[in-house]
Chains A and B, each alone.
Chain A
Amino acid sequence: MMKFDVFLENVTKEYKKFVALKDISFTLEPGKIYGLIGRNGAGKTTLLSLLGSLMEPTSGQIQIGGETPFENKKIMPYVSFIFEVDYKDEHEPITSYFSFANQYRPNFDIEYAKELAARFKLPLDKPIRSLSSGMQSALNVTLGLAHRNPVTIFDEAYVSMDAPTREIFYQEVLEEQQRHPRIMILSTHLVSEMDYLFDHVLILDQGKLIVNESFEEIISRGASVTGIAETVDTFVKNRNALSTQTLGNTKSVMIYGNLSDNDLFEAEKLGLEIGPVSLQELFIHLTKEVE
């Protein structure tokens, strides 16, 4: 069985005069769920389109399972790139999409697809254009999960689903990853809602990869320091402060960078409270535009 690890080296993508991705390098390993986070226009969809062989990079190389994926029939059927599809002209029912996937996706599990459709309460025989946008999204993720492909990419494919439906999707992602471990990439704006799914985090900002770390690592890089204003100021001096909140004489500063055991000991001695920072907060501050 082929190992479908993903390898990018110095990948750049330019559109005429606009540089969408600059010099991106990373490796993705089977069995992990990757969170791809970035603001609008950061280059997430472009990056995922390259992995899905929808386009070629301007420079640099992409390898999946040790081979260039673009126009490669040994790779392309095994990479699922799921995004919000425009179904306004789709008269076919869901069953047609299932039989299509059954033909062209080597690992497609039609029974599992039907099971998911039932969980999402999708009518199998109605024209897809007549389904609500939430149901259409649920169809997209159903296909993505049931393709059971070694590289499965969801690009904001869940934004139209309501909260309970998204919750079903998250559960399925975790259960599927147990049953059929693969490289799963979830690109999202819904960071606070989905962060518990991620094994590893990639943050894109203006076409550059600014974070490529495991979830634990990136989370441990942030801390909130709360206490008496002056003491906090002394403690965070020479550290990378991301944001500050003040209430009376109490100050809370969010810092970026690891705290050593000595730092923690010192903070305790100074009566400062060290708290965790969420991925969402780190993301917002790391990608904040300089005003």
Chain B
Amino acid sequence: MNTKNNTMFKVATDLFLFQMKWTLWFIPAVLGFYLFLPIVLKEITEVELNFLSTMFNPSKIYMLVIGIISALAFFNHYVQNGITRKDYVSGSAMAATGVAFSIMIIASIINGILHLIEPLTGFSPSNTHIAFLDTTSMWIIPILVFSLIILCYYIAGWMIIAGFQRLGGWGCFVFILIALLYFSLTDLLWQGDISHPLINAIGITDPNLSTPAALFCTLILIAVGLLLIRMLTKSVAIQPK
């Protein structure tokens, strides 16, 4: 028998496991490129970034895409099966957070393994960190920051579909712009002017925040994004098909 209060956690577990199935294809794919690209392309003599930092950019796009796909694939199915919109959104947000952290934790573990086996393989990727964040020291910070940033990309993707479900074609269009602004803002918090052309075009200057301040703003941005999705889906109508 179902107990009434655990539906949200069941949704979270289900969606997490489902999306991790996709992710377990994605991580090896990036790892493959990371290991074999320098071999194939002779001109790259040295791997410029460590694996954790290398994972970061493809993971943003990956999270954006699965944010879109999962909202399209699961939302209607769950509500049609008697799960409230609220439980779905809460569960799905938890699952997305889990996926974001899992990607970065797995990437860190792989990073660690690559360094451990370095003497055996002779493969010596540089331990250079990504431009905006020191990833060589205190692993917990890069994992946390990268995970939260890629979570924002997931929320951006989800928001586009929520806009479409609530407001139709025009909603989709408007929310593509909002999503673009949303992840540009996320990047601005961390990467400043190396971020998107959109931000440069608007003329916002690099806020150059300290890590704790940027972290705090990112958490606020995540909360706002999720709240927006909740508002959009709160009483959205679903067509039976």
Tell me if A104 and B85 are in contact (CB < 8 A).
no
Number of interface residues of B (CB under 8 A): 23
Q: CB of B80 within 8 A of chain A?
A: yes
Known: A54-B238, A106-B2. 11 other contacts (CB 8 A): A54-B239, A56-B235, A76-B82, A76-B83, A85-B241, A103-B14, A104-B2, A104-B7, A104-B78, A104-B82, A105-B81
Max chain B Cβ within 10 angstroms of own Cβ: one of A70, A77, A84: A77
Tell me if B81 and A52 are in contact (CB < 8 A).
no
**Residue ranges of A at the interface with B (Cβ–Cβ < 8 Å):** 45, 48-49, 52-56, 70-74, 76-81, 83-86, 100-101, 103-106, 155
Tell me if A71 and B81 are in contact (CB < 8 A).
no
The 4 closest A-B pairs by CB, nearest first: A55-B237, A77-B82, A76-B82, A54-B238
Give the distance to chain A from B230, nearest Cβ to Cβ, in Å. Answer: 12
Cα A103 to Cα B81 in complex, Å, equals: 11
Partner of B7, one of A49, A73, A86: A73
Chain B positions within 8 Å of A49 at CB level: 237-240
Partner of A54, one of B14, B79, B83: B79
**Least CB separation from A84: chain B residue:** B241
**Least CB separation from A78: chain B residue:** B82
Tell me if A72 and B84 are in contact (CB < 8 A).
yes
Tell me if B4 and A74 are in contact (CB < 8 A).
yes
Tell me if B86 and A71 are in contact (CB < 8 A).
yes
Q: CB of B187 within 8 A of chain A?
A: no
Provide 30 A-B residue pairs closer than 8 Å at the C-beta atoms, listed in order of the A residue: A45-B240, A49-B237, A52-B80, A53-B82, A54-B79, A54-B80, A54-B237, A55-B237, A55-B238, A56-B235, A56-B237, A70-B235, A71-B234, A73-B7, A73-B84, A73-B87, A77-B2, A77-B82, A78-B82, A80-B82, A83-B240, A84-B241, A85-B241, A103-B10, A103-B14, A104-B81, A104-B82, A104-B83, A105-B2, A106-B1
Tell me if A79 and B82 are in contact (CB < 8 A).
yes
**Least CB separation from B8: chain A residue:** A73
Cα A155 to Cα B78 in complex, Å, equals: 18
Give the distance to chain A from B168, nearest Cβ to Cβ, in Å. Answer: 11
**Least CB separation from A15: chain B residue:** B237
Max chain A Cβ within 10 angstroms of own Cβ: one of B81, B234, B239: B81
Give the distance to chain B from A124, nearest Cβ to Cβ, in Å. Answer: 19
Give the distance to chain A from B6, nearest Cβ to Cβ, in Å. Answer: 10
Tell me if A86 and B241 are in contact (CB < 8 A).
yes
Chain A positions within 8 Å of B82 at CB level: 53, 76-80, 104-105
Chain B positions within 8 Å of A48 at CB level: 240
Chain B positions within 8 Å of A155 at CB level: 240
Give the distance to chain A from B238, nearest Cβ to Cβ, in Å. Answer: 4
Cα A55 to Cα B239 in complex, Å, equals: 8
Cα A80 to Cα B80 in complex, Å, equals: 8
Cα A55 to Cα B81 in complex, Å, equals: 14
Cα A77 to Cα B7 in complex, Å, equals: 10
Chain A positions within 8 Å of B2 at CB level: 77, 103-106
**Least CB separation from B10: chain A residue:** A103
Chain B positions within 8 Å of A84 at CB level: 241
Chain A positions within 8 Å of B80 at CB level: 52, 54, 81
Tell me if B81 and A101 are in contact (CB < 8 A).
yes
**Least CB separation from B81: chain A residue:** A104
Give the distance to chain B from A191, nearest Cβ to Cβ, in Å. Answer: 21
Cα A73 to Cα B83 in complex, Å, equals: 7
Chain B positions within 8 Å of A101 at CB level: 81
Cα A192 to Cα B157 in complex, Å, equals: 49
From 1 to 56 in chain B, residues with beta carbon under 8 angstroms from any chain A beta carbon are 1-2, 4, 7, 10, 14
**Least CB separation from A143: chain B residue:** B81
Chain A positions within 8 Å of B235 at CB level: 56, 70-71
Chain A positions within 8 Å of B86 at CB level: 71
Tell me if A83 and B84 are in contact (CB < 8 A).
no
Chain A positions within 8 Å of B81 at CB level: 100-101, 104-105
Max chain B Cβ within 10 angstroms of own Cβ: one of A55, A56, A73, A79: A73
Chain A positions within 8 Å of B78 at CB level: 104
Cα A100 to Cα B7 in complex, Å, equals: 12
Cα A37 to Cα B11 in complex, Å, equals: 36
Give the distance to chain B from A146, nearest Cβ to Cβ, in Å. Answer: 13
